[in-house]
Amino acid sequence: MNIALVAHDKKKDDLIVLIKTYTHILKKHQLFATGTTGKRIAEATGLPVHCFRSGPLGGDQEIGAAVARGEMDMIIFFRDPLTAQPHEPDVSALMRLCDVYSIPLSTNMGGSEILIRSIEQGDFESLKLSHNDEPPA
């Protein structure tokens, strides 16, 4: 699976804890991330991570484009709900694309743990059949 990992500044440490906890599962998949987040994950875990630009510089949009092309299977996006983000429209657009293309999206630790454990169980087989389809009209 192709998994995108994104975290606002105040949530990066939490995302790294999650990735360290589930390295044994995530190492079997292709990881993508926005700039600083990806660099920090790679340094902390040793996992290979393809880094896009940082979120405010277009990284969220790059991940959104990958979703629209059918190239992402899951997004884990630890958002900071208490701090205004200058690129909030990009964040909203990425979340909207996840809904349009039925891409699993989690924005917190609990939901992310469920998604990652579901990968291990093979619970996403239907996505392989459906997420590359055109969105409904």
What is residue 125's predicted lDDT score, i.e. its pLDDT? Answer: 66
What is residue 135's predicted lDDT score, i.e. its pLDDT? Answer: 54
Is the pLDDT at 113 greater than 80? The verdict is yes
- Percentages helix, strand, coil for the chain, rounded to the nearest 5? 55, 15, 30
pLDDT band at 90 (very low <50, low <70, confident <90, very high): confident
Write down the catalytic residue from 60, 80, 90, 133: 60
Was 107 annotated as part of a binding site? no
In our burial notation (b when 16+ CB lie closer than 10 A, e otherwise), range 27-41 reads: eeeebbbbbbbbebb
The answer to whether residues 12 and 36 touch, using CB atoms and an 8 Å cutoff, is: yes
% the chain with pLDDT above 70? 91
0.85 exceeded by pTM: yes
Of 69 and 135, which is predicted with more confidence? 69
Was 28 annotated as part of a binding site? no
Distances from the Cα of 111 to the Cαs of 45, 59, 115, 123, in angstroms? 21, 22, 6, 15
Was 8 annotated as part of a binding site? yes
Was 36 annotated as part of a binding site? yes
Q: Is 60 an annotated catalytic residue? A: yes
